[in-house]
């Protein structure tokens, strides 16, 4: 249970309050430190999955904790970023990303209950979306750094790219789950007997 991938996943969860505390420090070094903490957490997201597969250390605990840690870290970061810049420009993609995560999590849970979890498995599009999301958040954290407005602008563009990919991946999940949601899967099963 306490293998290296699971420890990295737990570290990501522990880094959430550290990130929030550093984000709100009013010192010139704070944006860099907050970006470093978030960046380290984002790297553990990639590293724990890679190590679990490479070392053959996948586990039920890791399969449960990994997506929870990802969603918590991203949601918390987006909320504090929105609080720091409460404009509709930021609110829209934040709403889309957090709303999608809640929707897809509920969909996966329901599909698992009816034994059709594989229909809503993680896709490569989700990995691209996550990468755009993580990079955008790091750039948005650096808003008050020496890098200034151009880094923040790139961060906003990438946040919108992530939001669009988020919506698209949600549509794909819903299409994959639609036969079960609409009852068509049951009709097809009866018709094939």
pLDDT in tens, the chain (193 residues): 678 888 888 999 999 999 999 999 999 999 999 999 999 999 988 888 888 888 888 887 777 888 889 899 999 999 999 999 999 999 999 999 999 989 888 887 877 777 765 555 566 787 888 899 999 999 999 987 777 788 999 999 999 999 999 999 888 888 888 888 777 655 554 444 4
Q: Could you tell me if residue 193 is inside a domain?
A: no
Interhelix angle for 4-23 vs 60-84, to 10°? 10
What is the rounded distance in angstroms from the CA atom of residue 137 to the CA atom of residue 166? 15
pLDDT score recorded for residue 116? 63
Start-to-end CA span in the chain (Å): 43
Lookup: tokens for 57: 């250390």
Instruction: Give how far Cα 16 sits from Cα of 12, 46, 90, 92, Å.
Output: 7, 17, 21, 23
Query: CB–CB of 177/107 below 8 Å?
Result: yes
pLDDT score recorded for residue 193? 43
Q: Could you tell me if residue 171 is inside a domain?
A: yes
Instruction: Output the domain CATH number for residue 94.
Output: 1.20.120.1760
Q: Could you tell me if residue 190 is inside a domain?
A: no
Q: Could you tell me if residue 188 is inside a domain?
A: no
Q: Could you tell me if residue 187 is inside a domain?
A: no
pLDDT score recorded for residue 190? 40
pLDDT score recorded for residue 59? 80
Instruction: Give how far Cα 14 sits from Cα of 43, 130, 135, Å.
Output: 14, 20, 20
Helix-then-strand count for the chain, H and E: 7, 0
Q: Could you tell me if residue 58 is inside a domain?
A: yes
Query: CB–CB of 143/152 below 8 Å?
Result: yes
User: Nearest-CA neighbor of 141 among 130, 154, 128, 131?
Assistant: 154
Structure letter (DSSP) for residue 56: T
Q: Could you tell me if residue 35 is inside a domain?
A: yes
What is the rounded distance in angstroms from the CA atom of residue 118 to the CA atom of residue 103? 17
3-state secondary structure of 28: coil
The domain in which residue 50 lies consists of: 4-182
Domain count, the chain: 1
pTM for the structure as a whole: 0.85
């Amino acid at each position: 249970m306490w293998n290296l991938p699971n420890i990295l996943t737990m570290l990501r969860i522990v880094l959430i309050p550290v990130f929030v505390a550093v984000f709100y420090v009013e010192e010139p070094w704070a944006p860099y430190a907050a970006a470093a903490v978030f960046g380290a957490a984002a790297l553990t997201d990639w590293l724990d999955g890679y190590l679990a597969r490479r070392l053959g250390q996948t586990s039920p605990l890791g399969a449960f904790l990994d997506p929870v840690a990802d969603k918590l870290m991203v949601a918390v970061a987006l909320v504090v970023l929105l609080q720091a810049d409460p404009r509709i420009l930021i609110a829209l993609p934040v709403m889309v990303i957090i709303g999608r995560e809640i929707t897809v999590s509920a969909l996966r849970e329901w599909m698992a209950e009816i034994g059709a979890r594989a229909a809503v498995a993680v896709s490569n599009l989700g990995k691209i979306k996550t990468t755009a999301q993580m990079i955008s958040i790091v750039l948005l954290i650096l808003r008050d750094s020496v890098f200034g407005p151009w880094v923040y602008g790139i961060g906003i563009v990438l946040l919108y790219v992530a939001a669009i990919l988020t919506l698209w991946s949600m549509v794909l999940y819903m299409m994959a789950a639609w036969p079960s949601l609409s009852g068509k899967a049951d009709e097809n099963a009866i018709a094939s007997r």
